[in-house]
Chains A and B, each alone.
Chain A
Amino acid sequence: MSGVKEVYKMPESAFQGRATWKELPIGGVIPEPATSLRYKTGNWRALRPVLNEKKCIRCLMCWVYCPEPAIERLEGDRIRINYDYCKGCGICSSICPVKAITMVEEGA
């Protein structure tokens, strides 16, 4: 046994795609939670949701229905869109009762 600590850590080389089987945890186990946070899906986006904070009534509908979740619920039920992960599906914009989120073409 090389010690529990080592067994329960995912080697950095695994995320760079150059780990050998000897470095990886036994049995295809991923010992760390939420490693997908390292994988940014924001570059999938063709349309970018833009929030107009003045219009927002803090109903949290967009936060509830975001599939990623790429919408963070802040203090006082304000929201922030995390563009690192937002894939630009537009559910937030279509569900918003006061049209506070508009979809803008990426790069325009």
Chain B
Amino acid sequence: MSFIKTIKDIPKEEYLAPGHRLCAGCGAAIAIRLALKALRGPTVIVNATGCIEVATTIYPYTSWRVPWIHVAFENAAAVASGVAEAFKIMEKKYGVKRPDVIAIGGDGGTFDIGLQALSGALERGHKMLYICYDNEAYMNTGIQRSGATPRGAATTTSPAGRVIPGKLERKKDLIEIAVAHGVPYAATASIAYPVDYINKVRKALETEGPTVIHVLTPCVPGWRIDPSQTITIARLAVETLVFPVYEVENGKYRINVMVKKPKPLEEYLKLQGRFKHLLLPENKWLLDKLKEDVKWKWERLLKLSNL
């Protein structure tokens, strides 16, 4: 039974207040606002350093209407483990009702800097949800490449020019890393499919044990896109198979947004300044490599979900 069926069922309550200083058209802001729509009661948010953290809590301002804690870049998952365990003891000793614990990190704080803390938390099996909002580079500090930056993307530390045509390496696969820990629930989600996304957050909160959700969030300055195109591009990422939306429940794969007729990858790339050079004839070899990555991942998913 899913929590909501249509857009009209999305709760009115806003747990992220306006007045935050994220960019106009920020995809991460949409991801966090929608995730908070799925809350089911008292909740503690643990936030790693990143765009969301710096832009929503500029002292003395905060945009949060739920208890929120920030410690450092690398240890959101470790802090969330501590919070979850502390409440477990408090429940036993003083009868305090256990809140849900959600850790939020960007791709830098998850794929690179916070990976060992996340791995530790997943292995120890705390009851917590980790949401990674992935804008595919270190956007907060000025668009440096991360482990989540896709092949071919230009960033300030992988600039497209005469020496290299953007980042040469493949994007890490976070969900596969989570699944390798044997977590009960891991999923990818897109802000362009809000009902699916909110249901996934709710499902993860209701699952016993550690859960991971990976959501793709277009970044206006980092991807060099028009601010009004955030949702269009997020949807194209799914429709061109760059970012498949699927879930893994106790090892069982399920594709949630089935793409019967994928759109050509170029439709997704041409809207973004960071991929502009990939469409030049001399960089076709890299574009072909990116296409191979996308095809490989999708075919693997089809196989794993028995389709």
Contacts from A to B (Cβ < 8 Å): 10, 14-15, 19, 24, 28, 30, 32-41, 44-45, 59-61, 64-70, 73, 77, 82, 84-85, 87-91, 93-95, 103
Contacts and interface: CB of A to CB of B under 8 A. Distances in A.
Given A67-B25, A82-B18, A90-B227, A35 B65 contact: no
Nearest to B217: A67
Nearest to A46: B24
B232 A94 contact: yes
Interface of B: 7-8, 10, 12, 14, 16-27, 29-30, 33-34, 56-66, 191, 194, 220, 226-232
A90 B25 contact: yes
B59 A38 contact: no
A20 B226 CA distance: 42
Nearest to A85: B18
B30 A65 contact: yes
A contact patch SS:
loop
B61 A35 contact: yes
A10 B60 contact: yes
A39 B20 CA distance: 8
Given A34-B17, A36-B61, A67-B230, 18 more contacts: A30-B57, A30-B62, A33-B17, A34-B19, A35-B61, A36-B20, A37-B17, A38-B19, A66-B30, A67-B24, A67-B25, A67-B26, A87-B23, A89-B227, A90-B25, A91-B228, A94-B228, A94-B232
B61 A64 contact: no
A88 B23 CA distance: 10
A64 B195 CA distance: 10
5 contacts: A30-B57, A60-B7, A67-B22, A67-B27, A67-B33
A62 B261 CA distance: 27
Contacts of A82: 18
A39 B64 contact: no
B92 to A, nearest CB: 26
Nearest to A70: B18
A44 B24 contact: yes
A35 B14 contact: no
Given A37-B17, A69-B33, A85-B19, A77 B8 contact: yes
Given A59-B7, A91-B231, A94-B229, A35 B60 contact: yes
Nearest to B6: A60
A19 B60 CA distance: 10
Nearest to A15: B60
B96 to A, nearest CB: 18
B185 to A, nearest CB: 24
B7 A91 contact: no
A45 to B, nearest CB: 8
Contacts of A33: 17, 62, 64-66
A70 B24 CA distance: 11
Nearest to A95: B231
